[in-house]
């Protein structure tokens, strides 16, 4: 039975790397945000709008508790999930946590290029993103750093970049056994 939780700031590559890691390890993959959207039949922005952040975080917590019972999975969490309630403690208790760490400038580049709607950064220009990310990441990183594995990512754009990151994570996981 294996459970791996990938945490990190939005744009850090949690879903992209998580899918490839799951495939490489012959595990199932769950994107927690997609799980929540399917469960509530609403997008994350809709849930934020309808329930407010507190209501969304409650729904996220309940969904995390559910997927934490699944076996042989890699779970990609939302960027805020580790920072609320005792979510990091739960993930550390039932599985292996990996923090995909990236520099604010790299995150801003990735987020600027992304087509995904992200409520926290909607309407921000690239110039506004870097200081916002730096400040926001400073508040969240203490939770992310509770992960069992902290893996610093450089650029995760090409298939080769992703392959190298997944290979590095596989080595880290072997070293933790």
- pLDDT, tens digit, 9 for 90 and up, residues 35-86: 999 999 999 989 999 999 999 999 999 999 999 999 999 999 999 999 999 9
- Residue 176 resides in a domain: no
CA distances from 113 to 10, 49, 103 (A): 13, 24, 16
Domain that holds residue 8: 3-171
3-class DSSP state of 137: helix
Q: Among residues 47, 64, 45, which one has the least CA distance to residue 120?
A: 45
- Residue 147 resides in a domain: yes
Mean pLDDT estimate for the chain: 94
CATH number for the domain that contains residue 39: 3.40.50.300
Tell me how many domains the chain contains.
1
Cα distance from N-terminal residue to C-terminal residue, the chain: 13
What is the mean pLDDT, run by run of 10 residues, along the chain of 177 residues?
95 95 98 97 93 96 98 97 98 98 93 78 87 96 98 85 94 89
- Residue 56 resides in a domain: yes
Torsion over CA: 148, 153, 158, 164 (sign):
negative
What does the pLDDT read at residue 21? 98
What does the pLDDT read at residue 94? 98
> How many CA within 13 A on the CB side of residue 124?
20
- Residue 144 resides in a domain: yes
Torsion over CA: 107, 111, 116, 120 (sign):
positive
- Residue 177 resides in a domain: no
- Residue 117 resides in a domain: yes
């Amino acid at each position: 039975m294996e459970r791996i939780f990938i945490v990190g700031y939005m744009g850090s590559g949690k879903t992209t790397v998580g899918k490839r890691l799951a495939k490489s390890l012959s595990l199932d993959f769950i994107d927690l945000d997609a799980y929540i959207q399917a469960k509530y039949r609403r997008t994350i922005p809709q849930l934020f709008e309808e329930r407010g952040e507190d209501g969304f975080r409650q729904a996220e917590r309940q969904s995390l508790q559910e997927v934490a019972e699944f076996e042989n999975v890699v779970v990609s969490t939302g960027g805020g999930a580790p920072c609320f309630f005792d979510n990091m403690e739960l993930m550390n208790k039932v599985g292996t946590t990996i923090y995909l760490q990236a520099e604010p400038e790299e995150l801003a580049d990735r987020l600027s290029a992304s087509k995904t709607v992200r409520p926290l950064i909607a309407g921000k220009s690239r110039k506004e993103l870097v200081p916002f990310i730096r400040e926001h990441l400073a508040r969240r990183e203490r939770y992310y750093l509770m992960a069992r594995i902290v893996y610093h990512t450089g650029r995760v754009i090409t298939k080769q970049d992703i392959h190298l990151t997944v290979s590095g994570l596989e080595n880290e996981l072997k070293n933790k056994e």
